[in-house]
Amino acid sequence: PSGKCPVFGKGIIIENSNTTSLTPVATENQDLKDGGFAFPPTNPLISPMTLNGMKDFY
pLDDT at 8 (0 to 100)? 60
- Domain boundaries of the chain, sorted by first residue: 1-58
Task: Tell me the pTM.
Answer: 0.42
Q: Which of 55, 16, 14 is nearest to 38 (CA)?
A: 14
Do the beta carbons of residue 21 and residue 11 sit within 8 Å?
no
When pLDDT is cut at 50, 70 and 90, the band that residue 1 belongs to is very low
pLDDT more than 70, % of the chain: 69
- In the predicted model, what is the mean pLDDT of residues 21-29? 78
- Of 41 and 13, the structure prediction assigns the larger pLDDT to 41
